[in-house]
Structure 1
């Protein structure tokens, strides 16, 4: 019997002046462990007159993880941070009680043709940390655990697995693992996983119980301990998950919380522009029209 409980197909979503592939949340699966949101950005080619520009917008109750395959993004936030995220590095921003940030094409790439491709991920905070002070951490690619094993390339982007620990300062038990292949290989890693687990196919394919799965799909596992499959040649996959929280998480726009009342307060605060400002920026993304949780 297959260990695949649910298959989630990537769906197109508009984030302003840029189209992405939305993976989480999904109507039948709102979260995988603490992971509540995943967008696949690109791959998109931008002309010399096109740029990636997401004006200042707020977050509460979560950490964001930006991981690029190609291209660069300038991150600015209300803490005064200015950081260019490059392929293979990690931007980890914890919103806590509230943070505002913008994401744009860096000035040195404007006026040139460029490409953008990566993942935008939200990780919910434990209830007792939802109102923590915001912070920002940048981890260079060289500081992320990576190794070769059984003909495969591994990278532990965040969390703990395989007796290793990423430098990304997470706040609950989780993992985000990159596996790349050049030739078909058997993969068995169930003993290293815990909680809920899912697998995202970026490139190539995997085969599980004689069924072949293709790119732009998330496969939700029934049992992490049965995580065995064959990865195809020239494939890139991402396994993520961890311990779920006992309380439900609500999402409205960029706000994540265990409390609907807290989200209502965040909405009001943003409408009244009570959130902290991003230094040097005057634009902002307005609150979207009402939507149900």
Structure 2
């Protein structure tokens, strides 16, 4: 297999999102989106013993025009939205929210987080929706760890959770609005993982920790994202120490992007309409219980 070459190596600098410190490898001043991937946040927080879960996390806020995907690595996330969805996904699980025409949602620590160690670690990724699906009815998919297909290497050093798309014999249960491959890799030192990629897909890796050797490139350490050229059949990783890696690939949309805060549309007129619709209550109201 011919391995893809590296287009960019991006360090996930810490930035403040409200009161929450997050690591953000992209977008940066130098790099915008990797079509259709718009933004990545890696967040770790310990819930204080006296914290009220219903007041922690991120309160009600709107979205339109893209999918907000949350990969839960430690703890859990309690999702509620103005369409009536209400569920908690725990470590190893994934929440896939296609905002479509718009809704209001919140993301809180679950009430039993302290029982799970009190630490919450998530990666949230925004994936742009094609113009044809930006005004779809919103949809929410909750995938727990035990319902996520796993492919394990013969030496047990590589474990791949298949969230969306197909890897080897496994197909992920999540059904995105456009083709996406979403893999969560857990690798022990010296483990090797080879992932074929469709030639027309954009792809990137994000290392939550540890380090890997990328075939044809070299060492990549934790808290770095690797954007890949579309010039090969896939990618080969060798863990140089224990590591967790998120691998994402998707067909680029090749459409204009107009964004403002939680709205991602194709032009300024649509953005203005999104703001008006939200202010008029057309995205619904979320009253948290």
Aligned partner of residue 225 in structure 2, secondary structure: strand
Q: Counterparts in 2 of 1:257-272, with a 5 A limit?
A: 257-272=265-280
Q: Counterparts in 2 of 1:81-100, with a 5 A limit?
A: 81-100=85-104
**1:273 Cα offset (Å):** 4.3
Equivalence for 2:78: 74
> Of the candidates 222, 241, 256, which is equivalent to residue 249 of structure 2?
241
> Of the candidates 217, 222, 243, which is equivalent to residue 215 of structure 1?
222
Q: 1:28 to 1:73 in 2, by over 3 A?
A: same
1:172 maps onto 2:172 in alignment: no
Choose 8-17 or 23-32, whichever is displaced more: 23-32
- Residues 41-92 of structure 1, C-alpha deviation per residue, up to 9 Å, x if partnerless? 11x2221134533121000011111111111221110011111121111211
Q: Distance in 1 between matches of 2:150 and 2:28?
A: 30
Q: 1:84 to 1:29 in 2, by over 3 A?
A: same
- Residues 200-249 of structure 1, C-alpha deviation per residue, up to 9 Å, x if partnerless? 11121112346321100001112342523422231111111211002022
- Residues 109-128 of structure 1, C-alpha deviation per residue, up to 9 Å, x if partnerless? 47997111011111111111
- Residues 129-175 of structure 1, C-alpha deviation per residue, up to 9 Å, x if partnerless? 11001121212222212111253111112233335321111111111
Output the aligned Cα RMSD: 2.5
Q: Distance in 2 between matches of 1:48 and 1:126?
A: 43
Contact 1:147 1:153 in 2 (8 A): yes
Contact 2:5 2:217 in 1 (8 A): no
Q: 1:192 to 1:232 in 2, by over 3 A?
A: farther
Choose 23-32 or 260-269, whichever is displaced more: 23-32
Q: Distance in 1 between matches of 2:150 and 2:192?
A: 19
Q: Counterparts in 2 of 1:35-46, with a 5 A limit?
A: 35-42=37-44, 44-46=45-47
Contact 1:56 1:278 in 2 (8 A): yes
Runs of 4 or more consecutive aligned structure 1 residues displaced over 6 Å after TM superposition: 110-113
Equivalence for 1:251: 259
Choose 101-110 or 211-220, whichever is displaced more: 101-110
**1:255 Cα offset (Å):** 0.9
Q: Distance in 2 between matches of 1:104 and 1:235?
A: 27
Choose 91-100 or 151-160, whichever is displaced more: 151-160
Q: Counterparts in 2 of 1:1-293, with a 5 A limit?
A: 3-42=5-44, 44-50=45-51, 51=53, 52-109=56-113, 114-151=118-155, 152-190=158-196, 194-208=200-214, 209=216, 211-222=218-229, 223-225=231-233, 227-280=235-288
Q: Distance in 1 between matches of 2:92 and 2:192?
A: 25
User: What residue ranges of structure 1 are gaps of 5+ in the alignment?
Assistant: 282-293
Q: Distance in 2 between matches of 1:76 and 1:63?
A: 15
